[in-house]
Amino acid sequence: MYCRECGAENGVDAVFCRSCGARLVPDTLNGVERSLSVGDDGAPLVEFAGFWLRFGAYLIDSFLLLIVYGLLAIPAVLFVEDWESAEAVVAVLGWYIAVLIITVAYFTYFESSAAQATPGKRAVGIFVTDRDGNRITGYRAFGRYWARVLSFLILYLGVLLIGFTDRKEGLHDILAGTLVYRQPCLTTFKGRLP
């Protein structure tokens, strides 16, 4: 895809020109037109999603996942008679494995979907892109999930980093090469796309 502004060649899925930052495709999400503010030089102005918005989204996603986890526990609670038996160990281990698979699949699927956001992110009006403003792949979303786990494991310092970086990036965003924006994109100057 070639930029109409500067003529630079960009990837087929690019949303913004790598050279001049001009929007290459209409700014829509699920068919709803969004207005994109531009600076004096024509480069897009963006508003990155901060810590509290992202924390709110995480709480919503956690609540939704807890409901699923609870539903998964019902068969074990109903059918395991002796909680000190090998049967109980298998039931609990199976539950933990199912929880892990569902959690990874949840974040990977939704963040790489057309909405570019989990239900929690959609509820608070934020979405995930790569550093060029494009939808992330399933592989990148999968890596971002495990990078988020690392952010949590180091005493949440990787998550707290969101409050101290120009682009509101956590360690997991830096490692996965992702950015999180507010919707609609965008009304106030907070930074520029790379």
pLDDT above 70: percentage of residues in the chain: 80
Is residue 191 within 8 A of residue 166, CB to CB? The reply is yes
pLDDT, greater one: 35 or 166 = 166
- Chain centre to alpha carbon of residue 21: 22
pLDDT, greater one: 39 or 10 = 10
Predicted local distance difference test score (pLDDT) of residue 39? 55
pLDDT band at 42 (very low <50, low <70, confident <90, very high): low
pLDDT, greater one: 35 or 178 = 178
pLDDT band at 1 (very low <50, low <70, confident <90, very high): low
Is residue 136 within 8 A of residue 28, CB to CB? The reply is no
pLDDT above 90: percentage of residues in the chain: 58
Does residue 185 surpass a pLDDT of 50? no
Q: Is 15 exposed, middle or buried (0-12, 13-18, 19+ CB in 10 A)?
A: buried
Does residue 190 surpass a pLDDT of 60? no
- Span 39-46, average pLDDT: 57
Q: What pTM did the predictor assign?
A: 0.73
Predicted local distance difference test score (pLDDT) of residue 181? 92
Sort strands 28-29 and 126-130 into parallel, antiparallel or unpaired: unpaired
Predicted local distance difference test score (pLDDT) of residue 95? 94
pLDDT band at 188 (very low <50, low <70, confident <90, very high): very low
**To which residue do tokens 């963040």 refer?**
111
Residue range 118-172, pLDDT digits in tens: 999 999 999 999 988 889 999 999 999 999 999 999 999 999 999 999 899 999 9
Sort strands 178-182 and 126-130 into parallel, antiparallel or unpaired: antiparallel
Does residue 101 surpass a pLDDT of 90? yes
